Amino acid sequence: MPTIRFQLNGATVAVDADPDQALLDVLRGRLGTTSPHFGCGAGECGACYVMVGDRAMASCDMPMWSVADKQIVTLEGLGTAEQPHPLQRAFISEQAMQCGYCVSGILISAAALLERNPSPSEAEVRAALDRNLCRCGSHNRMVRAVLRAASEMATS
Amino acid sequence: MSALSPAPKLPVSLAANPRLSSWVKFTGEGRVAISPGKVEIGQGIVTALAQIAADELDVEIGRIEMIRASTAASPNEGVTSGSLSIQQSGRALRHACAEARQRFLAAASERLGVDAALLAVEDGTISGPGNVRTSYWELAGDVSLDHDAIAGIVAKSSATRSIAGHSVQRVDIPDKVFARPRFIHDHALQGLVHGRVLRLDVSGARLIALDQGAARAVSGLVAIVRDGGFAGVVADSEAAAEAALKALRKGATWSAGEALPDENDLAGFLRSQPVETTVIDTKAAATTKATRTLRRQYTRPYIAHGSIAPSCAMARWDGDRVHVWTHSQGVYLLRADLAIVLKLPVEDIVVEHMEGAGCYGHNAADDVALDAVLLAKAAGGRPVRVQWSRHDEMSHAPFGAAMAIEIEADLDADHEIVGWRHAIWSNGHAARPGRAAQPALLAASEIANPYPRMISTNPSAANGGGGDRNSVPLYDLPAWTITSHRLLTMPVRTSALRTLGAQGNVFAIESLLDEIAALRGEDPIAFRLRHLRDERAREVIRAAARRAAWKPEKRSGIGHGTGFARYKNTGAYCAAIAEIEGTDEVRVRRLTLAIDVGEAINPDGVINQIEGGAIQATSWVLKERVHFDRTRITSTSWADYPILTFSEVPAVDVEIIPRPEIDPVGAGEAAHGPVTAAIANAVYDCLGVRLRDLPITRDKIIAAMELAS
C-alpha cells in the first residue's frame, strides 16, 4: 500500500492506505479523529465534513489518493476549550444544537464559509449550510450562531 | 367538602425505585452524583434534571455529575419517551434530593447543636447562627441514603428555586463543540473490532443459503457468524468489515419476500385489512338536529425517524455474561428482550446507555444492540461495534405508522357542530422491546429458532393511547364517537415515532374545525376559543394570536393558518400559527407558537424543543413520505427521502406561558400536531384548497387546484 502524506490539523501525517479507501475511515479508524461522523456514506448529509483548503467536503466518499499533500482540518483542529474558535463559542452561546451529531460537520461548513466570506448575510449562511442535514430542527440557532461568530470576528 | 386530603404519595418513578442512594450520592470532594433512569437523546434532559437536583440540594450545578443510565445501578424508569422525563424523573429527583437535604440537615443539626430550621445550605456548605458550619461531604459518612424515600416530603416552593426555571447552558454541549468523544459511535474500547450484518432489503426475505468462501479470504476478517437467517461479519477495521460483508452478500441466497401494499393507495390498504376495533370514547348528545354531515378523510404516510446517525451498538462477552453499550431509549427494556433471545437471566446482562444521535422514537437502536451481541459471541471476548448503513436504517428500522382518519361532523342549520365521529385506521404505534413475552428485536425474527415478527400495538388510553393519541377533541362538542381500528397485519414495520398518532389526529381535527369555521364565516381563532373552556388552552391560543398579530391582512400569495392541541390531552398546551407563501409549491415562512408546559425547568431548553419540533413537523408536512414498491422500501437514501434543509426552514418564534406553580410536563412532542394543522390551514387560506393527504407536495396542490376549478 502506498504511503499517503497530508496535513491534518496542522501536523503532517503519513499513512499507508489503499488509495481508494475513504478519508473518513482513516480519520476515524487509525488516526482516532472521531469528530467527522459517519451519516450516510454517500456525501448526502454533511456529518463527515472536513475542510480541504477552504472548502468543506464530505470525507465519507473522498478517496485517500485525492488527499495527498492537502491541508485537512477537522473540528479537532478548529479550536479548543482553552482557545476556542469564535464559532465554537457562538454555538455554546446560542445553545445551537439538540443531539449534536451533525454539529461537527456544520461547524466545518461554517468555518469554511467564514474563511471565504467573513461577513456573510443570513441567506449566504443558509446556502452554505444547505448540504448539511440537521434532523433535530436546530437550524435557526445554528444560523444565528454563525452570524454571531462572524460579527465577533469582524470586531476583534 | 371533606377536610381530608389524600395521603401523600411518592412520585411514580420514586415509588418504583425508592432507594434514595440509587438517585443521589455525595461523592469525592465536593461532588454530587445524580443517577436518573432517563437518557439523553438530544433533548437536554440531563441538564434539566441536573438543575432540579442542584436546586433542591442547594449546590452549584457544576458540582453535579450526571450518571448515564445502566442496568448495573440506575433506577429503572422504563423508556425515555412520551415527553414524560421531566414529569417522571424530574419529580422523583426533586423529591429524592429534597429528602436527602432534609436528612443532612438533621445530621448537621445534631453535629452543630443548632436547630435544623436555623440552618442554611449554600453550595453544599451547611451553616447556622454563630458561624457554625459543615457540609454534605463532611457529613457523608454519618448520613446514609440507603433508605427508601418517604412520602410527604415538601420540596422548595417555586419562588425559592434559583436554578430550575432558568436557562442554564446544557451540560453536554461543550463536549460536542470541542470534539470530545461523547457518542457511542466515537467511543474507543480496548481491542474493539467491527461488525456488520447481512440483510436483504426485500421485505420478508429470509437467508436460506450462504457461501462464505469469498468473505473468508478478506484480509482483517475475525469471524463470520451465521445463526439461521441471521448472518454477519466481524473484522478488525470498518473497511475490512465492509469488504467482508460485500463478499458475503455475493454468496447469499434468499427466499422470496412478502408483498408490500400499493404506496399510492395507503388509505385503501389501511381500510381493507383485518383490524382490532376499539371505541376510544363516546359522548351522547341530548338531541340531534343535524341538517348536514361533512365527511372527510385525512391520511398521513409512513414516516422515517431519519436519525442522522445510523444505529450503533457495542457488545462484549465475558464467559456467559455480556455487556452492551446502546443508545436505546430503555436500557432495562432492551435487557429484558436480550434475556429472552439469549436465554440468559437478566443478571448476566448489563445494558449501559451511551449517547447516539437524536432518534425521535423507536428506531433501530435496540435492533442493532442484539446484532452486536450475536456477532460478539464470535469475537473471543473482544468488544464488537456494529453500525448500520444508511440503507439498512432506512429499510429495516421501524417507521412511524401510516394513518387514515375519517371524521364525520354533523352540523345544524347554523353550521354548529352537533355530532362528531372520528375513526382511525392504522398499524399500532408501538412495538418497543421489553413489554411482551416475545422479543421485538429484528434479529430475533431471523435466527435459527426465530420468534415471530411483532405486530405493533397501541399504548392504553391511560398512557396516552397510540394511533388514537389526541383523537378525543379537547373542544366542547356536544356528542362524539371515537373509534380506533388497529391493523392485525404489518407488511411495513412500524413502531413509535414522535407523537405516535397525535400528529395525524390533530391534523384531522384541526383541519375540519378550520373548514367548519370557514363555512360559518367565523374567524378560526374565535371559533376555537368559543369551543374551549380550559383556560390554559384558551391562553396559548390567544398568546399565539397576539404574537402573530392575528389575523394579518390578506395578501396575494400569502396564507395564514392555525392549529392547537394539548399533547395527549394531559401534557403541554401548544398553539401554532403558520405563515406560508405558495403558488403551486408551498414555503413556510414563519411559525409562531405559544406553549404551556407548566413550570419550565429550562426555558431555553423548552424553546429549543418547540423550535425543533416545529421544524421537524414542517419537514414531515412538506416533504416526507417513505416510498416503496411491491417488494421493498425504495426511499433508502437522503436523495430519496429528502428532509427540510437550512434554506427551507421557516423562522420560528416561541412564547412560553409562565406557570411556575404548576407541575412541569415535557415539550418534545407538543408542536408537531398544531404545526401540521396550521400549515394545512394556511394552504387553504393562501390557495383556497384543502389538502388532506400528507405530505403537501406540489403535485398534490396542483391536483387539488384542478379538482377545485
B104 domain-assigned: yes
Chain B residues touching A121 at Cβ < 8 A = none
Q: Is A84 exposed, middle or buried (0-12, 13-18, 19+ CB in 10 A)?
A: middle
Give domain status of residue B421, yes or no: yes
Cis peptide before A70 (omega within 30 of 0): no
Cβ-based contacts of B182 with chain A (< 8 Å): 100
Length of chain A: 156
CB contact under 8 A, B237 and A102: no
Total of domains in chain B = 3
Of B450, B404, B393, B395, residue with least CA distance to B427 = B404
Looking at the fold, whether B603 and B701 belong to one and the same domain comes out as yes
Q: Say whether both B139 and B212 belong to one domain.
A: no
Verify that B140 and B81 share a domain, yes or no.
yes
Residues B456 and B440: their CA atoms lie apart, in Å, by 9
Tell me what the mean pLDDT of segment B22-26 comes to: 97
Query: What is the CATH architecture of A86-155?
Result: Orthogonal Bundle (1.10)
B157 and B75 in one domain? yes
Q: How many Å lie between the alpha carbon of A83 and the closest alpha carbon of chain B?
A: 10
The model's pLDDT over B496-521, given as tens digits with 9 standing for 90+, comes to: 999 999 999 999 999 999 999 999 99
The answer to whether A28 contacts chain B (CB < 8 Å) is yes
CB burial string A26-56: b at 16+ within 10 A, e below:
bbbbeeebbbbbbbbbebbbbbbbbbbeeeb
Query: Exposed e or buried b for every residue in B570-593, given b needs 16+ CB within 10 A?
Result: ebbbbbbbbbbbbeeebebeebbb
B105 and B200 assigned to the same domain: no
H helix runs in B418-461, sequence order: none
| Shared domain check, B683 and B661 | yes
* Average pLDDT of every residue of chain B: 96
Give domain status of residue B128, yes or no. yes
**B410 and B358 inside one domain:** no
What kind of fold does domain A3-77 have according to CATH? Answer: Ubiquitin-like (UB roll) (3.10.20)
- Terminus-to-terminus CA distance in chain A, angstroms? 47
Residue B474 domain-assigned (yes or no) = yes
**Which chain A residues are Cβ-neighbours of B169 within 8 angstroms?**
92, 95
Which of B633, B636, B495, B635 is CA-nearest to residue B202? Answer: B633
Is residue B438 domain-resident? no
Residues of B in contact with A130 (CB under 8 A): 645-647
Whether chain B has a CB inside 8 Å of the CB on A134: the answer is yes
Predicted model pTM: 0.97
CATH code, domain with B148: 3.30.365.10
Q: Is residue B1 scored above 50 in pLDDT?
A: no
Q: Are residues B213 and B320 in the same domain?
A: yes
Q: Are B678 and B578 in contact (CB under 8 A)?
A: yes
Q: How close, in Å, is residue A144 to chain B by CA atoms?
A: 11
B360 touches chain A (CB under 8 A): yes
Contact at CB, B646 and A37, closer than 8 angstroms? no
Residue B136 maps to a domain? yes
Give the minimum alpha-carbon distance from B112 to chain A in angstroms, rounded to a whole number: 42
- pLDDT tens for residues B258-311? 999 999 999 999 999 999 999 999 998 767 689 999 999 999 999 999 999 999
pLDDT digits (tens, 9 = 90+) for B159-170: 999 999 999 999
**Is the ipTM above a cut-off of 0.95?**
yes
Contact B370, B442 (CB under 8 A): yes
Residue B3 in this model has a pLDDT that exceeds 60: no
Domain boundaries, chain A: 3-77, 86-155
Distance in Å, alpha carbon of B181 to nearest chain A alpha carbon: 7
Of B118, B145, B176, which residue constitutes the final position of a domain? B176
In the sheet that holds B221-227, the strands lie side by side as B221-227, B230-235, B193-197, B384-387, B312-318, B321-326, B349-353
Q: Which of A35, A98, A126 sits opposite B43 (nearest CB)?
A: A98
Hey, what's the cell of B45? 434532559
Helix axes B91-112, B45-57, angle to 10 degrees: 30
CB-CB under 8 Å, B615 with A42: no
Whether residue B4 is predicted with pLDDT greater than 70 in this model: the reply is: no
Out of B396, B411, B445, a domain closes at B396
Q: Which regions of B367-493 does DSSP assign to beta strands (E)?
A: 384-387, 403-411, 417-426, 480-487
Residues of A with Cβ-Cβ distance to B389 under 8 angstroms: 41
Regarding whether B664 and B520 lie in a shared domain, the answer is yes
By the 8 A CB rule, do A146 and A138 touch?
A: no
Extended beta strands in B69-136, E state: 120-122, 125-128, 132-135
Here the cell at position B448 is 435459527
Is B422 found in the same domain as B349? Answer: no
**Residue to substitute from A20, A26, A98, interface B, most B β-carbons within 10 A:** A98
CA pair distance B338, A84, nearest whole angstrom: 43
Compute how many other C-beta atoms are within 10 angstroms of the C-beta atom of residue A23.
29
**Span between the terminal Cα atoms of chain B, in Å:** 63
* Same domain, yes or no: B112 and B245: no
Size of interface A-B (CB pairs under 8 A): 165
User: Do B480 and B565 belong together in one domain?
Assistant: yes
Range of the domain at B678: 403-429+466-708
